[in-house]
Structure 1
Protein backbone atom coordinates (compact mmCIF):
# COMPACT_ATOMS: atom_id res chain seq x y z
CA UNK A 1 0.00 0.00 0.00
CA UNK A 2 1.43 3.40 -1.02
CA UNK A 3 -1.37 5.46 0.54
CA UNK A 4 -0.17 8.41 2.66
CA UNK A 5 -2.17 11.16 4.32
CA UNK A 6 -0.69 14.31 5.83
CA UNK A 7 -1.76 15.79 9.19
CA UNK A 8 -3.28 18.84 7.51
CA UNK A 9 -5.58 16.58 5.47
CA UNK A 10 -7.30 14.89 8.42
CA UNK A 11 -10.48 16.13 10.09
CA UNK A 12 -11.50 16.23 13.74
CA UNK A 13 -14.79 14.84 14.98
CA UNK A 14 -16.52 15.29 18.30
CA UNK A 15 -15.96 17.88 20.98
CA UNK A 16 -15.62 18.19 24.73
CA UNK A 17 -14.02 14.79 25.15
CA UNK A 18 -11.35 14.06 27.75
CA UNK A 19 -8.76 11.36 27.12
CA UNK A 20 -10.74 9.73 24.27
CA UNK A 21 -8.32 6.79 24.31
CA UNK A 22 -10.50 4.06 22.78
CA UNK A 23 -13.13 4.28 20.03
CA UNK A 24 -15.51 1.81 18.35
CA UNK A 25 -18.18 2.03 15.66
CA UNK A 26 -21.24 -0.06 14.81
CA UNK A 27 -23.18 -0.78 11.61
CA UNK A 28 -26.06 1.36 12.92
CA UNK A 29 -23.75 4.39 12.75
CA UNK A 30 -23.06 4.88 16.44
CA UNK A 31 -19.58 6.07 17.42
CA UNK A 32 -18.55 5.31 20.99
CA UNK A 33 -15.46 6.62 22.74
CA UNK A 34 -13.95 6.42 26.22
CA UNK A 35 -14.19 9.55 28.37
CA UNK A 36 -12.36 10.36 31.60
CA UNK A 37 -13.61 13.12 33.90
CA UNK A 38 -11.26 15.82 35.26
CA UNK A 39 -12.10 14.97 38.87
CA UNK A 40 -11.78 11.22 38.29
CA UNK A 41 -14.21 8.63 37.01
CA UNK A 42 -15.90 8.72 33.64
CA UNK A 43 -17.17 6.11 31.24
CA UNK A 44 -18.04 6.20 27.54
CA UNK A 45 -19.64 8.73 25.20
CA UNK A 46 -21.88 8.21 22.18
CA UNK A 47 -21.30 10.84 19.49
CA UNK A 48 -24.12 12.13 17.32
CA UNK A 49 -23.59 12.68 13.59
CA UNK A 50 -22.71 16.31 14.35
CA UNK A 51 -20.26 15.31 17.10
CA UNK A 52 -22.49 16.14 20.05
CA UNK A 53 -21.49 13.89 22.97
CA UNK A 54 -23.91 11.84 25.07
CA UNK A 55 -22.00 10.44 28.06
CA UNK A 56 -22.66 7.36 30.14
CA UNK A 57 -20.78 8.03 33.35
CA UNK A 58 -19.94 5.24 35.79
CA UNK A 59 -21.94 5.82 38.96
CA UNK A 60 -23.24 3.32 41.46
CA UNK A 61 -20.79 0.49 42.05
CA UNK A 62 -17.75 2.09 40.40
CA UNK A 63 -14.50 2.25 42.39
CA UNK A 64 -13.45 5.68 43.65
CA UNK A 65 -10.40 5.72 41.37
CA UNK A 66 -12.17 4.40 38.25
CA UNK A 67 -10.25 5.49 35.13
CA UNK A 68 -11.66 4.14 31.85
CA UNK A 69 -9.19 2.95 29.25
CA UNK A 70 -9.66 0.26 26.59
CA UNK A 71 -13.07 -1.37 26.32
CA UNK A 72 -15.39 -3.58 24.27
CA UNK A 73 -19.12 -3.51 23.62
CA UNK A 74 -21.34 -6.40 24.75
CA UNK A 75 -24.48 -7.60 22.93
CA UNK A 76 -26.77 -6.37 25.75
CA UNK A 77 -25.59 -2.76 25.37
CA UNK A 78 -23.16 -2.80 28.28
CA UNK A 79 -19.46 -1.97 28.06
CA UNK A 80 -16.57 -4.09 29.32
CA UNK A 81 -14.06 -1.53 30.53
CA UNK A 82 -10.45 -1.58 31.69
CA UNK A 83 -9.74 0.65 34.68
CA UNK A 84 -6.27 2.16 35.03
CA UNK A 85 -6.96 3.27 38.59
CA UNK A 86 -4.58 1.79 41.16
CA UNK A 87 -7.37 -0.42 42.53
CA UNK A 88 -7.41 -2.11 39.12
CA UNK A 89 -9.86 -4.63 37.78
CA UNK A 90 -12.09 -4.91 34.74
CA UNK A 91 -15.61 -3.48 35.01
CA UNK A 92 -18.98 -3.64 33.30
CA UNK A 93 -20.76 -0.35 32.66
CA UNK A 94 -24.50 -0.41 31.89
CA UNK A 95 -26.44 2.27 29.96
CA UNK A 96 -27.97 3.62 33.21
CA UNK A 97 -24.50 4.23 34.69
CA UNK A 98 -24.52 1.23 36.99
CA UNK A 99 -21.07 -0.31 37.24
CA UNK A 100 -20.38 -3.87 38.36
CA UNK A 101 -17.16 -5.91 38.57
CA UNK A 102 -16.27 -7.97 35.50
CA UNK A 103 -13.10 -9.41 37.04
CA UNK A 104 -11.28 -8.43 40.25
CA UNK A 105 -9.25 -11.56 40.98
CA UNK A 106 -7.29 -14.14 39.01
CA UNK A 107 -5.53 -17.15 40.50
CA UNK A 108 -6.33 -15.80 43.95
CA UNK A 109 -4.62 -12.44 43.40
CA UNK A 110 -6.14 -8.98 42.80
CA UNK A 111 -6.24 -7.93 39.15
CA UNK A 112 -3.85 -4.96 38.70
CA UNK A 113 -4.72 -1.87 36.64
CA UNK A 114 -6.09 -3.13 33.32
CA UNK A 115 -5.17 -1.76 29.89
CA UNK A 116 -7.73 -3.33 27.56
CA UNK A 117 -10.74 -5.66 27.48
CA UNK A 118 -11.62 -7.52 24.28
CA UNK A 119 -14.79 -9.53 23.67
CA UNK A 120 -14.28 -11.87 20.72
CA UNK A 121 -16.74 -13.45 18.27
CA UNK A 122 -17.00 -16.58 20.43
CA UNK A 123 -17.98 -14.59 23.52
CA UNK A 124 -14.64 -15.02 25.26
CA UNK A 125 -13.16 -12.11 27.22
CA UNK A 126 -9.46 -11.24 26.87
CA UNK A 127 -7.99 -8.85 29.44
CA UNK A 128 -4.55 -7.27 29.04
CA UNK A 129 -2.38 -6.25 31.98
CA UNK A 130 0.53 -4.00 31.04
CA UNK A 131 2.46 -4.50 34.25
CA UNK A 132 2.14 -5.54 37.89
CA UNK A 133 4.13 -2.48 38.95
CA UNK A 134 2.39 0.45 40.60
CA UNK A 135 2.81 3.16 39.54
CA UNK A 136 2.83 1.77 36.01
CA UNK A 137 5.54 4.23 34.95
CA UNK A 138 8.05 1.94 36.67
CA UNK A 139 7.54 -0.46 33.75
CA UNK A 140 8.44 2.08 31.04
CA UNK A 141 11.68 0.26 30.33
CA UNK A 142 12.39 -1.98 27.36
CA UNK A 143 13.75 -4.77 29.57
CA UNK A 144 10.72 -4.94 31.88
CA UNK A 145 8.41 -7.75 30.76
CA UNK A 146 5.86 -8.51 33.47
CA UNK A 147 2.74 -7.93 31.36
CA UNK A 148 0.22 -10.72 30.87
CA UNK A 149 -3.14 -11.71 29.35
CA UNK A 150 -6.15 -13.12 31.18
CA UNK A 151 -8.84 -15.21 29.48
CA UNK A 152 -12.44 -15.68 30.68
CA UNK A 153 -14.69 -18.17 28.88
CA UNK A 154 -17.65 -15.75 28.98
CA UNK A 155 -18.70 -12.38 30.38
CA UNK A 156 -20.50 -13.96 33.33
CA UNK A 157 -17.84 -16.57 34.10
CA UNK A 158 -15.18 -14.92 36.31
CA UNK A 159 -14.60 -18.37 37.82
CA UNK A 160 -12.96 -19.40 34.52
CA UNK A 161 -10.40 -16.58 34.54
CA UNK A 162 -6.82 -17.73 34.07
CA UNK A 163 -3.54 -16.27 32.85
CA UNK A 164 -2.84 -17.59 29.35
CA UNK A 165 0.22 -15.52 28.36
CA UNK A 166 2.86 -13.70 30.39
CA UNK A 167 6.30 -12.15 30.10
CA UNK A 168 5.07 -9.40 27.76
CA UNK A 169 6.77 -6.03 27.44
CA UNK A 170 3.92 -3.74 28.60
CA UNK A 171 0.84 -5.41 27.11
CA UNK A 172 -1.48 -2.99 25.36
CA UNK A 173 -4.42 -3.86 23.09
CA UNK A 174 -5.11 -7.55 22.47
CA UNK A 175 -7.57 -8.84 19.85
CA UNK A 176 -8.47 -12.08 18.13
CA UNK A 177 -7.88 -11.73 14.40
CA UNK A 178 -10.68 -12.16 11.81
CA UNK A 179 -9.65 -15.76 11.12
CA UNK A 180 -10.30 -16.67 14.75
CA UNK A 181 -6.97 -18.47 14.83
CA UNK A 182 -4.67 -15.93 16.49
CA UNK A 183 -4.65 -13.53 19.43
CA UNK A 184 -2.62 -10.44 18.49
CA UNK A 185 -1.01 -8.18 21.09
CA UNK A 186 0.83 -4.88 20.98
CA UNK A 187 3.75 -4.77 23.42
CA UNK A 188 4.34 -1.07 24.01
CA UNK A 189 7.74 -1.02 25.71
CA UNK A 190 9.08 -4.01 23.76
CA UNK A 191 7.92 -2.13 20.62
CA UNK A 192 6.64 -5.20 18.84
CA UNK A 193 3.47 -6.79 17.52
CA UNK A 194 3.11 -10.36 18.76
CA UNK A 195 0.60 -13.11 18.23
CA UNK A 196 -0.39 -16.37 19.92
CA UNK A 197 -2.16 -19.31 18.29
CA UNK A 198 -5.45 -20.21 19.97
CA UNK A 199 -5.18 -23.76 21.27
CA UNK A 200 -8.05 -25.40 23.11
CA UNK A 201 -8.68 -23.38 26.26
CA UNK A 202 -5.37 -21.51 26.07
CA UNK A 203 -2.68 -20.10 23.80
CA UNK A 204 0.45 -21.30 22.08
CA UNK A 205 3.82 -19.63 22.55
CA UNK A 206 4.43 -16.01 21.57
CA UNK A 207 5.42 -15.30 17.96
CA UNK A 208 6.84 -11.96 16.84
CA UNK A 209 4.90 -10.54 13.88
CA UNK A 210 7.14 -7.46 13.59
CA UNK A 211 9.53 -5.37 15.60
CA UNK A 212 8.24 -1.91 14.84
CA UNK A 213 10.26 0.63 12.89
CA UNK A 214 12.16 3.33 14.78
CA UNK A 215 9.95 5.94 16.42
CA UNK A 216 6.91 3.69 16.90
CA UNK A 217 5.67 3.25 20.47
CA UNK A 218 2.68 0.97 19.77
CA UNK A 219 -0.65 1.40 21.56
CA UNK A 220 -3.91 0.33 19.86
CA UNK A 221 -4.39 -1.53 16.59
CA UNK A 222 -7.06 -2.82 14.22
CA UNK A 223 -7.32 -5.30 11.35
CA UNK A 224 -8.24 -4.37 7.80
CA UNK A 225 -10.13 -6.43 5.24
CA UNK A 226 -6.96 -7.17 3.24
CA UNK A 227 -5.11 -8.89 6.09
CA UNK A 228 -3.22 -5.85 7.34
CA UNK A 229 -2.85 -4.57 10.89
CA UNK A 230 -3.03 -0.81 11.50
CA UNK A 231 -1.09 0.34 14.57
CA UNK A 232 -1.46 3.68 16.37
CA UNK A 233 1.79 4.99 17.81
CA UNK A 234 1.83 7.42 20.71
CA UNK A 235 4.78 9.82 20.90
CA UNK A 236 5.27 9.94 17.11
CA UNK A 237 1.55 10.23 16.24
CA UNK A 238 2.00 7.60 13.56
CA UNK A 239 -0.36 5.17 11.93
CA UNK A 240 1.64 2.23 10.59
CA UNK A 241 0.12 -0.54 8.48
CA UNK A 242 1.74 -3.93 8.89
CA UNK A 243 1.10 -5.91 5.73
CA UNK A 244 0.45 -9.66 5.59
CA UNK A 245 4.08 -10.04 4.44
CA UNK A 246 5.40 -8.14 7.49
CA UNK A 247 6.13 -4.93 5.59
CA UNK A 248 5.53 -1.67 7.47
CA UNK A 249 4.08 1.40 5.79
CA UNK A 250 3.66 4.78 7.52
CA UNK A 251 0.24 6.10 6.52
CA UNK A 252 0.16 9.16 8.78
CA UNK A 253 2.58 10.87 11.13
CA UNK A 254 2.74 14.11 13.10
CA UNK A 255 6.04 14.49 14.91
CA UNK A 256 9.31 16.40 15.08
CA UNK A 257 12.24 14.10 14.17
CA UNK A 258 14.52 16.25 16.34
CA UNK A 259 12.48 15.18 19.37
CA UNK A 260 11.86 11.57 18.35
CA UNK A 261 15.53 10.67 17.83
CA UNK A 262 16.71 11.46 21.40
CA UNK A 263 13.58 9.84 22.85
CA UNK A 264 14.41 6.65 20.98
CA UNK A 265 18.00 6.86 22.25
CA UNK A 266 16.62 7.00 25.80
CA UNK A 267 14.43 3.97 25.04
CA UNK A 268 17.50 2.05 23.93
CA UNK A 269 19.60 3.00 26.98
CA UNK A 270 16.81 2.52 29.53
CA UNK A 271 16.14 6.19 30.24
CA UNK A 272 12.71 6.43 28.58
CA UNK A 273 10.02 8.16 30.70
CA UNK A 274 6.40 9.30 30.47
CA UNK A 275 7.69 12.71 29.34
CA UNK A 276 9.02 10.99 26.22
CA UNK A 277 5.73 9.15 25.70
CA UNK A 278 3.82 12.43 25.87
CA UNK A 279 5.89 14.28 23.25
CA UNK A 280 3.06 13.68 20.81
CA UNK A 281 0.57 15.55 23.00
CA UNK A 282 2.13 18.84 21.88
CA UNK A 283 1.31 18.18 18.23
CA UNK A 284 -2.09 18.64 16.50
CA UNK A 285 -2.86 14.89 16.58
CA UNK A 286 -2.42 14.94 20.38
CA UNK A 287 -0.86 11.51 20.95
CA UNK A 288 -3.07 9.20 18.91
CA UNK A 289 -3.54 5.93 20.78
CA UNK A 290 -6.15 3.83 18.98
CA UNK A 291 -7.68 3.19 15.59
CA UNK A 292 -10.98 1.84 14.34
CA UNK A 293 -12.89 1.70 11.05
CA UNK A 294 -16.48 2.92 10.68
CA UNK A 295 -19.00 4.28 8.23
CA UNK A 296 -21.33 2.14 6.07
CA UNK A 297 -18.38 0.79 4.06
CA UNK A 298 -15.92 0.52 7.00
CA UNK A 299 -13.57 2.92 5.21
CA UNK A 300 -13.78 5.87 7.60
CA UNK A 301 -10.87 5.80 10.03
CA UNK A 302 -11.25 7.18 13.56
CA UNK A 303 -8.32 7.59 15.92
CA UNK A 304 -8.58 8.10 19.66
CA UNK A 305 -5.88 9.93 21.60
CA UNK A 306 -4.44 10.52 25.06
CA UNK A 307 -4.63 14.31 24.98
CA UNK A 308 -7.21 15.38 22.41
CA UNK A 309 -10.78 16.55 22.91
CA UNK A 310 -12.08 14.92 19.73
CA UNK A 311 -11.28 12.14 17.25
CA UNK A 312 -8.92 12.26 14.27
CA UNK A 313 -10.71 11.00 11.15
CA UNK A 314 -10.06 10.45 7.43
CA UNK A 315 -11.06 8.13 4.59
CA UNK A 316 -9.10 4.95 3.86
CA UNK A 317 -8.66 3.19 0.50
CA UNK A 318 -9.07 -0.17 2.22
CA UNK A 319 -11.95 -1.21 4.48
CA UNK A 320 -11.55 -2.40 7.99
CA UNK A 321 -12.31 -5.99 8.92
CA UNK A 322 -15.77 -6.43 10.42
CA UNK A 323 -15.27 -6.20 14.21
CA UNK A 324 -17.08 -8.48 16.70
CA UNK A 325 -19.35 -5.64 17.89
CA UNK A 326 -20.38 -4.41 14.41
CA UNK A 327 -23.98 -5.66 14.64
CA UNK A 328 -24.54 -4.65 18.27
Structure 2
Protein backbone atom coordinates (compact mmCIF):
# COMPACT_ATOMS: atom_id res chain seq x y z
CA UNK A 1 0.00 0.00 0.00
CA UNK A 2 1.65 3.24 -1.13
CA UNK A 3 1.30 6.51 0.74
CA UNK A 4 0.14 9.62 -1.13
CA UNK A 5 0.94 13.16 0.03
CA UNK A 6 -0.91 14.56 3.01
CA UNK A 7 -4.02 16.63 2.63
CA UNK A 8 -3.55 20.39 2.78
CA UNK A 9 -6.25 22.94 3.67
CA UNK A 10 -8.02 24.66 0.79
CA UNK A 11 -11.22 26.27 2.18
CA UNK A 12 -12.24 26.56 5.83
CA UNK A 13 -15.07 28.01 7.94
CA UNK A 14 -17.87 26.30 6.05
CA UNK A 15 -20.98 24.97 7.79
CA UNK A 16 -21.30 21.50 6.22
CA UNK A 17 -19.90 21.09 2.69
CA UNK A 18 -21.11 18.13 0.61
CA UNK A 19 -21.58 16.80 -2.94
CA UNK A 20 -18.43 18.18 -4.61
CA UNK A 21 -18.26 18.33 -8.40
CA UNK A 22 -15.51 19.53 -10.72
CA UNK A 23 -17.16 21.58 -13.48
CA UNK A 24 -16.09 24.39 -15.82
CA UNK A 25 -12.73 24.92 -14.12
CA UNK A 26 -14.04 25.14 -10.56
CA UNK A 27 -15.02 22.96 -7.64
CA UNK A 28 -18.76 23.15 -6.96
CA UNK A 29 -20.35 21.98 -3.71
CA UNK A 30 -23.43 22.29 -1.53
CA UNK A 31 -23.12 23.89 1.90
CA UNK A 32 -26.07 22.19 3.61
CA UNK A 33 -26.79 24.53 6.47
CA UNK A 34 -25.97 27.79 4.71
CA UNK A 35 -28.50 26.44 2.19
CA UNK A 36 -26.53 27.42 -0.84
CA UNK A 37 -24.69 25.94 -3.80
CA UNK A 38 -21.17 27.34 -4.13
CA UNK A 39 -18.17 27.16 -6.40
CA UNK A 40 -14.53 27.82 -5.65
CA UNK A 41 -11.69 28.38 -8.09
CA UNK A 42 -8.01 27.68 -7.53
CA UNK A 43 -7.47 30.77 -5.40
CA UNK A 44 -9.81 29.43 -2.70
CA UNK A 45 -12.39 32.19 -2.95
CA UNK A 46 -15.92 30.86 -2.46
CA UNK A 47 -18.75 32.20 -4.60
CA UNK A 48 -22.40 31.52 -3.79
CA UNK A 49 -24.26 30.42 -6.92
CA UNK A 50 -27.83 29.91 -5.72
CA UNK A 51 -29.82 29.65 -2.48
CA UNK A 52 -31.82 26.44 -1.94
CA UNK A 53 -34.32 27.00 0.93
CA UNK A 54 -34.90 23.31 1.73
CA UNK A 55 -31.19 22.45 1.78
CA UNK A 56 -29.15 21.54 -1.31
CA UNK A 57 -27.36 18.24 -1.75
CA UNK A 58 -26.49 16.40 -4.99
CA UNK A 59 -25.41 18.43 -8.03
CA UNK A 60 -25.17 17.68 -11.74
CA UNK A 61 -25.54 19.24 -15.17
CA UNK A 62 -27.87 18.61 -18.08
CA UNK A 63 -26.40 18.26 -21.59
CA UNK A 64 -27.42 21.87 -22.28
CA UNK A 65 -25.34 23.06 -19.31
CA UNK A 66 -28.11 23.84 -16.83
CA UNK A 67 -27.50 22.89 -13.21
CA UNK A 68 -29.63 20.29 -11.44
CA UNK A 69 -29.83 20.43 -7.64
CA UNK A 70 -31.34 18.01 -5.14
CA UNK A 71 -33.48 19.80 -2.56
CA UNK A 72 -33.12 17.51 0.44
CA UNK A 73 -35.85 18.19 2.93
CA UNK A 74 -38.80 18.63 0.55
CA UNK A 75 -37.44 15.77 -1.61
CA UNK A 76 -37.49 17.57 -4.94
CA UNK A 77 -35.22 17.84 -7.96
CA UNK A 78 -34.67 21.43 -9.06
CA UNK A 79 -33.11 23.07 -12.12
CA UNK A 80 -31.35 26.43 -12.24
CA UNK A 81 -32.79 28.44 -15.13
CA UNK A 82 -30.75 31.63 -15.27
CA UNK A 83 -30.94 32.87 -11.69
CA UNK A 84 -34.19 31.12 -10.67
CA UNK A 85 -34.83 27.57 -9.53
CA UNK A 86 -37.54 25.57 -11.31
CA UNK A 87 -39.09 22.32 -10.10
CA UNK A 88 -38.21 19.25 -12.19
CA UNK A 89 -39.62 16.39 -10.13
CA UNK A 90 -41.29 15.67 -6.80
CA UNK A 91 -39.67 12.57 -5.28
CA UNK A 92 -41.64 12.51 -2.02
CA UNK A 93 -43.86 9.59 -3.09
CA UNK A 94 -40.79 7.40 -3.70
CA UNK A 95 -38.12 8.63 -1.28
CA UNK A 96 -38.84 7.64 2.32
CA UNK A 97 -36.33 10.10 3.78
CA UNK A 98 -34.38 13.23 2.83
CA UNK A 99 -32.87 13.03 -0.64
CA UNK A 100 -29.10 13.26 -0.81
CA UNK A 101 -26.45 12.57 -3.43
CA UNK A 102 -27.08 12.49 -7.17
CA UNK A 103 -25.40 11.40 -10.39
CA UNK A 104 -26.44 13.02 -13.69
CA UNK A 105 -25.35 11.05 -16.77
CA UNK A 106 -24.51 12.27 -20.28
CA UNK A 107 -28.16 11.91 -21.36
CA UNK A 108 -29.35 14.07 -18.46
CA UNK A 109 -30.79 11.19 -16.42
CA UNK A 110 -30.55 11.93 -12.70
CA UNK A 111 -29.96 9.06 -10.24
CA UNK A 112 -30.86 10.17 -6.71
CA UNK A 113 -30.45 8.45 -3.36
CA UNK A 114 -32.26 9.10 -0.09
CA UNK A 115 -31.81 8.34 3.60
CA UNK A 116 -34.79 5.97 3.79
CA UNK A 117 -35.66 7.05 7.33
CA UNK A 118 -35.44 10.04 9.69
CA UNK A 119 -31.75 9.81 10.57
CA UNK A 120 -31.55 12.99 12.63
CA UNK A 121 -34.77 12.12 14.44
CA UNK A 122 -33.19 8.80 15.51
CA UNK A 123 -35.85 6.74 13.72
CA UNK A 124 -35.18 3.01 13.16
CA UNK A 125 -33.06 2.17 10.13
CA UNK A 126 -34.90 1.22 6.93
CA UNK A 127 -33.52 0.24 3.55
CA UNK A 128 -34.59 2.38 0.62
CA UNK A 129 -34.41 2.90 -3.14
CA UNK A 130 -32.47 4.68 -5.85
CA UNK A 131 -34.67 6.90 -8.03
CA UNK A 132 -33.97 7.83 -11.64
CA UNK A 133 -35.47 10.97 -13.20
CA UNK A 134 -35.25 10.90 -17.02
CA UNK A 135 -35.27 14.17 -18.96
CA UNK A 136 -38.88 15.24 -19.32
CA UNK A 137 -40.14 12.08 -17.64
CA UNK A 138 -41.55 10.91 -14.35
CA UNK A 139 -39.33 9.64 -11.52
CA UNK A 140 -39.00 5.88 -11.28
CA UNK A 141 -37.37 3.45 -8.87
CA UNK A 142 -34.40 1.67 -10.48
CA UNK A 143 -33.03 -0.19 -7.43
CA UNK A 144 -34.52 -1.26 -4.10
CA UNK A 145 -33.30 -2.53 -0.72
CA UNK A 146 -30.26 -0.27 -0.61
CA UNK A 147 -28.82 0.51 2.80
CA UNK A 148 -28.48 4.31 2.72
CA UNK A 149 -27.49 4.89 -0.94
CA UNK A 150 -25.03 7.74 -1.02
CA UNK A 151 -22.26 8.73 -3.44
CA UNK A 152 -22.68 7.38 -6.98
CA UNK A 153 -20.33 7.18 -9.96
CA UNK A 154 -20.59 6.09 -13.59
CA UNK A 155 -17.84 4.40 -15.60
CA UNK A 156 -16.42 6.28 -18.63
CA UNK A 157 -18.32 4.02 -21.05
CA UNK A 158 -21.58 4.72 -19.23
CA UNK A 159 -22.26 1.02 -18.69
CA UNK A 160 -21.51 0.54 -14.97
CA UNK A 161 -22.99 2.49 -12.08
CA UNK A 162 -21.48 2.14 -8.60
CA UNK A 163 -23.27 3.37 -5.48
CA UNK A 164 -21.95 3.60 -1.94
CA UNK A 165 -24.22 1.95 0.62
CA UNK A 166 -23.18 3.75 3.80
CA UNK A 167 -25.04 1.52 6.26
CA UNK A 168 -24.35 -1.58 4.17
CA UNK A 169 -20.60 -0.83 4.33
CA UNK A 170 -20.11 -1.74 0.69
CA UNK A 171 -19.91 -0.45 -2.84
CA UNK A 172 -22.58 -1.95 -5.08
CA UNK A 173 -22.45 -2.04 -8.89
CA UNK A 174 -25.14 -2.29 -11.56
CA UNK A 175 -25.17 -2.61 -15.34
CA UNK A 176 -26.85 0.39 -16.95
CA UNK A 177 -29.31 -0.54 -19.69
CA UNK A 178 -29.85 1.74 -22.72
CA UNK A 179 -33.06 3.13 -21.18
CA UNK A 180 -31.25 4.02 -17.94
CA UNK A 181 -32.69 1.17 -15.87
CA UNK A 182 -30.30 -0.94 -13.80
CA UNK A 183 -29.60 -4.67 -13.87
CA UNK A 184 -27.11 -7.31 -12.65
CA UNK A 185 -26.72 -6.00 -9.11
CA UNK A 186 -23.49 -7.16 -7.48
CA UNK A 187 -21.13 -6.29 -4.64
CA UNK A 188 -18.25 -4.30 -6.10
CA UNK A 189 -16.31 -4.02 -2.83
CA UNK A 190 -17.27 -5.37 0.59
CA UNK A 191 -15.99 -3.14 3.40
CA UNK A 192 -17.79 -4.59 6.42
CA UNK A 193 -15.51 -5.31 9.36
CA UNK A 194 -13.02 -2.60 8.42
CA UNK A 195 -14.62 0.23 10.39
CA UNK A 196 -15.56 1.99 7.15
CA UNK A 197 -18.86 3.56 6.07
CA UNK A 198 -18.59 4.88 2.49
CA UNK A 199 -20.18 8.28 1.92
CA UNK A 200 -19.17 10.36 -1.12
CA UNK A 201 -17.13 8.62 -3.83
CA UNK A 202 -15.30 9.35 -7.08
CA UNK A 203 -13.74 7.17 -9.79
CA UNK A 204 -10.24 7.23 -11.26
CA UNK A 205 -8.82 6.22 -14.64
CA UNK A 206 -7.65 2.82 -13.38
CA UNK A 207 -11.18 1.94 -12.31
CA UNK A 208 -10.54 2.39 -8.57
CA UNK A 209 -12.86 4.33 -6.28
CA UNK A 210 -11.82 6.99 -3.79
CA UNK A 211 -14.28 7.05 -0.90
CA UNK A 212 -14.83 9.27 2.12
CA UNK A 213 -15.54 7.51 5.40
CA UNK A 214 -16.85 9.77 8.17
CA UNK A 215 -16.86 7.08 10.87
CA UNK A 216 -13.14 6.31 10.43
CA UNK A 217 -12.16 9.90 9.56
CA UNK A 218 -10.31 9.10 6.36
CA UNK A 219 -10.42 8.83 2.60
CA UNK A 220 -9.29 5.64 0.91
CA UNK A 221 -8.74 4.25 -2.56
CA UNK A 222 -10.44 0.91 -3.17
CA UNK A 223 -10.20 -1.48 -6.10
CA UNK A 224 -12.95 -3.78 -7.33
CA UNK A 225 -13.00 -6.77 -5.00
CA UNK A 226 -12.17 -4.67 -1.94
CA UNK A 227 -8.37 -4.24 -2.00
CA UNK A 228 -7.39 -0.92 -0.42
CA UNK A 229 -4.37 0.80 -1.98
CA UNK A 230 -4.36 4.09 -0.02
CA UNK A 231 -5.72 5.29 3.34
CA UNK A 232 -5.38 8.97 4.23
CA UNK A 233 -6.50 10.27 7.65
CA UNK A 234 -8.51 13.49 7.78
CA UNK A 235 -9.05 16.25 10.30
CA UNK A 236 -12.76 16.03 10.96
CA UNK A 237 -15.15 13.55 9.42
CA UNK A 238 -14.61 12.99 5.69
CA UNK A 239 -17.99 13.09 3.96
CA UNK A 240 -17.17 13.44 0.26
CA UNK A 241 -14.34 13.56 -2.27
CA UNK A 242 -13.84 14.54 -5.89
CA UNK A 243 -10.99 14.29 -8.40
CA UNK A 244 -10.63 17.61 -10.19
CA UNK A 245 -8.24 20.32 -11.27
CA UNK A 246 -7.15 20.92 -14.87
CA UNK A 247 -5.64 17.42 -15.10
CA UNK A 248 -8.10 15.77 -12.67
CA UNK A 249 -5.19 14.76 -10.44
CA UNK A 250 -6.23 16.87 -7.44
CA UNK A 251 -8.28 15.01 -4.86
CA UNK A 252 -10.59 17.39 -3.02
CA UNK A 253 -11.86 16.10 0.33
CA UNK A 254 -14.79 17.66 2.20
CA UNK A 255 -15.03 17.35 5.98
CA UNK A 256 -17.59 18.33 8.59
CA UNK A 257 -19.25 17.21 11.80
CA UNK A 258 -21.94 14.60 11.17
CA UNK A 259 -24.99 14.31 13.43
CA UNK A 260 -24.85 17.79 14.94
CA UNK A 261 -27.66 20.31 14.56
CA UNK A 262 -27.72 22.86 11.76
CA UNK A 263 -27.52 25.59 14.38
CA UNK A 264 -24.36 24.08 15.86
CA UNK A 265 -22.78 23.68 12.41
CA UNK A 266 -23.53 27.30 11.58
CA UNK A 267 -22.13 28.44 14.89
CA UNK A 268 -18.95 26.38 14.76
CA UNK A 269 -18.18 26.65 11.01
CA UNK A 270 -15.89 23.63 11.27
CA UNK A 271 -16.60 22.40 7.73
CA UNK A 272 -13.64 22.46 5.37
CA UNK A 273 -12.28 21.43 1.97
CA UNK A 274 -8.84 19.85 1.70
CA UNK A 275 -6.78 18.81 -1.30
CA UNK A 276 -3.81 16.72 -2.37
CA UNK A 277 -2.18 15.56 -5.57
CA UNK A 278 -2.61 11.94 -6.68
CA UNK A 279 -1.00 9.88 -9.41
CA UNK A 280 -4.07 8.55 -11.22
CA UNK A 281 -6.51 11.13 -12.69
CA UNK A 282 -10.25 11.08 -12.33
CA UNK A 283 -12.50 9.40 -14.89
CA UNK A 284 -16.17 8.89 -15.64
CA UNK A 285 -18.97 10.84 -13.95
CA UNK A 286 -19.52 12.95 -11.98
The answer to whether structure 1 residue 128 and structure 2 residue 90 are counterparts is no
What are the superposed Cα offsets for residues 193-225 of structure 1, whole Å, 9 maximum, x if unpaired?
Answer: 101112343211421112115111110111100
Q: TM-score, normalised by structure 1?
A: 0.75
Q: How does 1:151-162 map to 2 (within 5 A)?
A: 151-154=132-135, 157-159=136-138, 161-162=139-140
Summarize the Cα distance change of 1:246–1:134 in structure 2 as closer, same or farther, 3 Å threshold.
closer
8 Å CA contact retained: 2:170, 2:190: yes
d(CA) in 1 for partners of 2:81 and 2:15?
20
The answer to whether structure 1 residue 210 and structure 2 residue 189 are counterparts is yes
Q: Which residue is equivalent to 2:283? A: 321
8 Å CA contact retained: 1:288, 1:305: yes
Q: Which residue is equivalent to 2:131? A: 150
Count of matched residue positions in the alignment of Structure 1 and Structure 2 = 272
List structure 1 runs of 4+ shifted beyond 6 angstroms. Answer: none
Q: How does 1:90-109 map to 2 (within 5 A)?
A: 90-94=77-81, 96=83, 98-105=84-91
8 Å CA contact retained: 2:154, 2:284: no
Higher-helix-fraction structure: 1
8 Å CA contact retained: 1:31, 1:46: yes
8 Å CA contact retained: 2:190, 2:226: no
Higher-strand-fraction structure: 2
Larger radius of gyration: 1
d(CA) in 1 for partners of 2:166 and 2:218?
14
Summarize the Cα distance change of 1:158–1:50 in structure 2 as closer, same or farther, 3 Å threshold.
same
How far the C-alpha of 1:123 sits from its partner, in A, is 2.3
After superposition, the CA RMSD in angstroms is: 2.4
What are the superposed Cα offsets for residues 134-193 of structure 1, whole Å, 9 maximum, x if unpaired?
Answer: 35554674xx32x11111222xx143x211111111111223222321121111111111
Structure 1 unaligned segments of length 5 or more: list them: 255-283
Structure 2 unaligned segments of length 5 or more: list them: 258-269
8 Å CA contact retained: 2:95, 2:129: no
Q: TM-score, normalised by structure 2?
A: 0.85
The answer to whether structure 1 residue 312 and structure 2 residue 274 are counterparts is yes
1:193 corresponds to which of 171, 194, 200:
171
Q: Which residue is equivalent to 2:100? A: 115
Q: Partner of 2:131: helix, strand, or coil?
A: strand
Summarize the Cα distance change of 1:200–1:33 in structure 2 as closer, same or farther, 3 Å threshold.
closer
d(CA) in 1 for partners of 2:95 and 2:220?
35
2:68 corresponds to which of 71, 74, 80:
80
Q: How does 1:1-328 map to 2 (within 5 A)?
A: 2-5=1-4, 9-26=6-23, 28-38=24-34, 42-58=35-51, 64=53, 66-85=54-73, 87-94=74-81, 96=83, 98-105=84-91, 112-131=97-116, 133-135=117-119, 138=122, 141=125, 144-145=126-127, 147-154=128-135, 157-159=136-138, 161-201=139-179, 202-212=181-191, 213-254=193-234, 284=235, 286-307=236-257, 308-323=270-285
